[in-house]
Structure 1
Amino acid sequence: MLKKREPVEDNDSLERSISAIAAAMSDPSRVKMLCALMDGRAWTATELSIVADIASSTASAHLSRLFNEKMVTCLSQGRHRYYRLAGHDIAELIETMMGVSWKRIVPPETRAPMGLRTTRTCYDHLAGEVAVKIYDVMVNEGWFDSEGTSMTPEGRKRFQALGVVLDTKTRRKACCACLDWSERRFHLGGDAGAAFFTHCEQKGWLTRVPGFREVNITSSGKLAFRRLFTLEV
């Protein structure tokens, strides 16, 4: 009597999943929409169609593709549908892709607006030249390990002294070294990065530019960064 064959385990699921995500990001219009959503806000399909310079119907098809691949989420409110990135992991993926891609653009200094290179949002944390310099100081002073994967007791002590509230029950990375696409170095990501950015906003050190990723440093912020990180802005 022949033995019944066991179902063959699908060993290609991870590879096919990676290919699907890569395919979803392969269209320049979809990439433009994903980059726009990096400001952390929710956008309508019409707003995203303007950013990508495509017809509304085409934008809807692209957003449907991104939604099916779980790269964006959709919220219906009244007559409008709003789209935003599906989570911090998607934002980190896009920022990393920016960093890798930026290396292939020559000369990179001429392509990025100076305001974005100085300070901008990376989803829910601070990015740009200033963020990179702050992170360098934190690492050099022992706030994080050299890989940026864990916060040291000194780091927790310094965050507490600043008044930065950390989420001890978060499911995301407590902290991480996030590759900065314009500086091609690391800034602070993860929950610690988000908490630090929120603290800076609440203290009035940083203000967002409505509708854009650019962030302004206030006069009190310049004084605070000079005092805390010996940083001249």
Structure 2
Amino acid sequence: MKEGPDIALIGSLIGDPARANMLSALMGGQALTPTELAAHAGVTLQTASSHLAKLEAGGLVTQRKQGRHRYYALSEDEVGLMLESLMGFAASRGLTRHRPGPKDPALRKARVCYNHLAGDYGVRMLDSLINARQIEIAGDDLTLTEAGRERIEALGIDYAALKKSRRPICRSCLDWSERRSHLAGSLGEALLKLFLNEGWAKREKESRAIRFTDRGDKAFLDLFPL
């Protein structure tokens, strides 16, 4: 009898094209209805419901009810990290599902990776924090330094709240387009919320792309120099 984690089960859940499209849609970080996910997957609502039941049983998605409506989201950060890594592996092998289009440059510059910033700007942000010794790296582990804590508190981010969270404050996530790490964890999420709340950037409709304004571009590049 073979022992150990059942990667075949996870592989079969992700490997179905309709389910892969649903999971990719949920990488935008927004909770979506079965009807919306059916449209992303290109299947009927009945078929989508069957797929979602399998994804939920496998621990990849979770649902919540609001009135008569049901909404689905990725179950936890680890699912988003796994999917981003798989996207990077597929991209490195030239396995793409569509031809490059107008949205590609925007997605490569800045996009949502579940709940944090990815793309060129996400990688730049982590590199800048490491270069300034505000984040230390040891193997796959990232640690916020004292200088880093002072920096994020100066930006208005509540460090005490981040520390109370069960999630890691800093986490590396392999970026599928840059093939390098960007910043995940509760700090990565807090920084993305900061950019959106300050009006530096906004989400593109029906896309994972994050569009920075001219003012936001300048502020971001000043804040995270290389």
TM-score by length of 1: 0.86
1:192 aligns with 2:187: yes
Amino acid at match of 1:119: A
Structure number, greater radius of gyration: 1
Report percent identity of matched pairs. Answer: 38
Q: Which residue of 2 aligns with 1:202?
A: 197
Q: Which residue of 1 aligns with 2:67?
A: 78
Residues in 1 aligned to 2:96 and 2:34: alpha-carbon distance in whole angstroms: 33
Instruction: Tell me the number of residue pairs that the alignment of Structure 1 and Structure 2 aligns.
Output: 219
- Point out 4+ residue stretches in structure 1 off by more than 3 angstroms: none
Amino acid at match of 2:51: H
CA contact under 8 A between 2:90 and 2:96: conserved in structure 1?
no
Q: Which residue of 2 aligns with 1:223?
A: 218
Using the TM superposition, give the Cα deviation of residue 107 of structure 1 relative to its aligned residue in structure 2, in angstroms. Answer: 8.8
Residue aligned with 2:202, SS:
strand
Q: Which residue of 1 aligns with 2:81?
A: 92
Residue aligned with 1:210, SS:
coil
Q: Which residue of 2 aligns with 1:5?
A: none
Using the TM superposition, give the Cα deviation of residue 196 of structure 1 relative to its aligned residue in structure 2, in angstroms. Answer: 0.9
Q: Which residue of 1 aligns with 2:137?
A: 146
Which runs of 5 or more structure 1 residues have no equivalent in the other structure? Answer: 1-9
Q: Which residue of 2 aligns with 1:122?
A: 113
Q: CA RMSD in A?
A: 2.1
Deviation per CA, 1:79-133, whole angstroms, max 9, x where unpaired?
Answer: 322111111111111111111221111799x647111111110111111111111
1:50 aligned to which of 4, 15, 39: 39
Deviation per CA, 1:57-79, whole angstroms, max 9, x where unpaired?
Answer: 22111111001111111122233
1:156 aligns with 2:145: no
Amino acid at match of 1:183: E
1:27 aligned to which of 11, 16, 30: 16
Call closer, same or farther: CA 1:35–1:106 in 2, change over 3 Å.
Answer: closer
Q: Which residue of 2 aligns with 1:15?
A: 5
Q: Which residue of 2 aligns with 1:64?
A: 53
Alignment of 1:174-185 (within 5 A): 174-185=169-180
TM-score by length of 2: 0.89
